Amino acid sequence: MTIARQSTAIELAIGPVLDAGGVAVTDCVVADFKIKKTTSNFAALNGSATLAHVSAGMYDLVLTTSDTDTVGLATIAIDDTVNACAPVRIQVIEEAVYDRDFAASATGYIANQPVDLNTIKTQTVTCAGGVTIPNATLASTTNITAGTVTTATNVTTVNGLAANVITATSINADAITAAKIADGAIDRAAFAADTGLQPIRSNTAAGGAAGSITLDGSASASNDFYNNCRVYITGGTGVGQNRMVRDYVGSSKVATVAPNWVTNPDNTSTFAILPVTSVWEEIMSDHTTSLTTGAALNAVGAASDPWTVALPGAYGAGTAGFIIGTNIDALITSRLAPTVAGRALDVSAGGEAGLDWANVGAPGSTVNLSATTMSAVTTTATATNVTTVNGLAANVITAASLATDAGAELAAATWDLAVVGHTTSGTFGAAMNAAGSLGDPWGTPLPGSYGAGTAGRLIGRSMPDVVAGGSGGLFIAGTNAATSITGALTAAIVGNITGNLSGSVGSVTTVSDKTGYSLASTGLNLIVPADPSSIPVLGTSSIVVWIGYFGAWTVNEVNVTSSQAKLKTSGGSDLATHPISDDGTTFQSEEPA
């Protein structure tokens, strides 16, 4: 973890950035990365930040003063669903604190400061910090040589050590053992927050499930706060398991992990959330244990250029190296030599390949070209036994390409086709078949079943098969005119009849001109008026109705009072009522009501 000064630009190394196939990405930009400050969510870096690719996916990232303006832990991570990069974490501390501990003017040891051992031997020395060194604590001056304390006996407290004071060789093999460290002696509180050794959070879980753990109630309330950290079960149920936090919900304190737990944690499980360091900055030689990711990456990195490997070499049967090395053992042009007898594939001296049809084995047999497209065929002298042509381009068949008798053969083939099989509704075949099935029209009986308005019905009803003057015949003018009609005549006669009619006339609807007609006296006896049912109307009612009305006044009952005369029907019903008046001088009868 890097220590950064608040509101101060800082340059960081970040990477490598790898794509899904493990190949280094060299074209990242500042916008591909985001920063998360303490409890805030991930956000874009300041627009003035810069990013420069260095080598093999490694970049120099320069943060601005606004990127480091918040004291606390800050995480920079790639914002990409395709490429991957380990996050980088920095600890931002206040300017005064940083300057006190890290600036050039920070209080510290003065190089080569002489020590007055005689003064320390003979009297108590009080340091500026108030620590007193009594003279009795120095056994002899030989214990301090050239600024080095060779032996310090019964040292109860060491307030500070210079850099590299404690080295591996200065610690005995059995100096620090588990037996010498009491249980609980080193806990979270024992590590300062800025050492990077203190877990982000440790406590007892509130519960857990197959793919999650519920942290304690005092855990962060910010969503995604613990994302990409490791959660380690330090005790209780599921102890020893270590998972990556993929998502965190601040309101519920639930951290989603991957992969799922082998043993689900519960409310007895204690946990520690640990920051993830940049694994890409680890020394490869420290991580080459067999079957580990480090060993696999080391092997890939140690592999030589694959294109320089001699094939088939030691590669066994079935491997790509063996197949390629065995089968492609010479130039393609030499493997496909120019045409020789019996070879169907023709390769020119220039390396162009084509099919040598002259050398196709058994050329008399069927050659299947179902999956072959011939873009152009210059000349085909003879194509024998072509059974099917699936398609021809436009204008392929021209007038010149047809034989002189082709038209006659087509016509003969068309008219000699059997009717059966060509009667689909709406086609010429169906129409011609229908016309042919009608037979001789002159032998058809008329009017037969032809409907009203059809020619068959009109001709059949107007021109019956009779001789002139015969029963049901016509009046025929000319030399074949009939002198009489022997049968009954049912017809409407329009015009004048100049001859005489013998026999009875059914009814005459209208006789416009009555000149020259007379009614025999015996004809009146045929008029039989009926008992009227209403009063006749002049200009409308027939003479028969009027005669019946007058007859009713003669034979029917008439009731007369001083004011009216009421005519009855023969059945006794009222027929007409005439208002009357008589003043002794004049008798008056009015129109019937």
Distance CA 42, CA 228 (A): 12
Kind and range of the H or E element at 135?
Answer: none
Token pair of 334, please? 């030499």
> So what's the pLDDT on residue 109?
43
**Residue among 221, 217, 189 at smallest CA distance from 204:** 217
223 — alpha (psi -120 to 50), left (phi > 0) or beta? beta
Q: How far apart are CA 262 and CA 247, in angstroms?
A: 19
Q: What is residue 28's predicted lDDT score, i.e. its pLDDT?
A: 93
Tokens, residue 13: 């190394």
Query: In degrees rounded to 5, what are phi and psi of residue 426?
Result: 90, -5
**Considering the chain, what is the average pLDDT of its residues?**
76
Q: What is the pLDDT of residues 110-145, one digit of tens each?
A: 545 555 555 555 555 555 444 455 554 454 444 444
pLDDT band at residue 480 under the 50/70/90 scheme: very low
Strands across the sheet with 58-63, in order?
A: 10-14, 58-63, 50-55
pLDDT, greater one: 565 or 513: 565
- CATH number for 2-102 (one of 3.40.30, 3.40.50, 2.60.40, 1.10.3470): it is 2.60.40
pLDDT in the model for residue 417: 76
pLDDT digits (tens, 9 = 90+) for 492-505: 555 666 666 555 65
pLDDT over 90 (residue 318): no
Pairing of strands 207-209, 564-568: unpaired
What percentage of the chain reaches a pLDDT higher than 70?
65
Comparison of pLDDT for 38 and 463, the residue scoring more: 38
Please give the torsion angle defined by the CA atoms of residues 241, 245, 249 and 253, in that order, rounded to the nearest 10 degrees: 20
Q: CB-based burial of residue 433 (10 Å sphere; 0-12 exposed, 13-18 middle, 19+ buried)?
A: middle
Please state, as a whole number, how many other Cβ atoms lie within 10 Å of the Cβ of residue 322. Answer: 16
Tell me what pLDDT residue 61 has: 94
Mean pLDDT of 76-94: 91
Listed residue (277, 101, 106) closest to 199, CA to CA: 277
Q: What pLDDT is attached to residue 370?
A: 60
pLDDT, position 120: 55
- Spell out a b/e string for 215-238, using b for 16 or more CB atoms within 10 Å of the CB, else e: beeebbebebbbbbbbbbbbeebb
Is beta strand 2-5 parallel, antiparallel or unpaired with respect to 88-93? parallel
Reduced 3-state DSSP string for 497-551: CCCCCCCCCCCCCCCCCCCCCCCCHHHHCCCCCCCCCCCCCCCCCCHHHHHHHHH
CB 95 within 8 A of CB 4: no
Q: Which residues make beta-bridge pairs with 2? A: 90
pLDDT for the residue numbered 128: 47
Per-residue pLDDT band for 490 (boundaries 50, 70, 90) equals low
Name the phi and psi angles at 460, rounded to 5: -65, -35
pLDDT tens by residue, 100-109: 888 766 655 4
Phi-psi bin for 532: left (phi > 0), alpha (psi -120 to 50), beta? Answer: beta
Question: What pLDDT is attached to residue 173?
Answer: 76
Tokens of 162: 């210079």
Task: Output the CA torsion sign for 76, 43, 6, 91.
Answer: negative
Most confident of 5-19, 348-362, 579-593: 5-19
Q: How far is CA 175 from CA 166, 170, 171, in A?
A: 13, 10, 6
- The pLDDT score that the predictor gives to residue 523 is 61
d(CA 450, CA 458): 9
Structure-block tokens of residue 127: 């340091």
3-class state of residue 148 by DSSP? strand
pLDDT of residue 484: 53
Residues 498 and 490: their CA atoms lie apart, in Å, by 19
Residue 449 token pair: 């079943």
DSSP class of residue 84 equals: B
Mean of pLDDT values over 375-397: 69
In whole angstroms, what is the distance from residue 59 CA to residue 53 CA? 4
pLDDT digit string (tens) for 425-452? 888 778 787 777 766 777 778 777 888 8
Instruction: Look at residue 145 in the predicted model and tell me its pLDDT.
Output: 41
Contact 105, 15 (CB under 8 A): no
Give the pLDDT band (50/70/90) at residue 365: low
Kindly write down the DSSP assignment for every residue of 536-591, as one continuous string.
Answer: --TTTS-HHHHHHHHHHHHHS-EEE-SSEEEEEPTTS-EEEEEEEEE-SS-EEE--
Q: How many CB atoms lie within 10 A of CB 548?
A: 19
Q: Which residues contact 40 (CB under 8 A, 6 or more apart)?
A: 70, 222
pLDDT at residue 565 in the model: 82
Average pLDDT over residues 524-550: 77
pLDDT in tens, 190-244: 666 666 667 889 999 999 999 999 999 999 999 999 999 999 999 999 999 999 9
Across 246-250, 396-400, 531-535, the highest mean pLDDT is recorded for 246-250
pLDDT at 142: 41
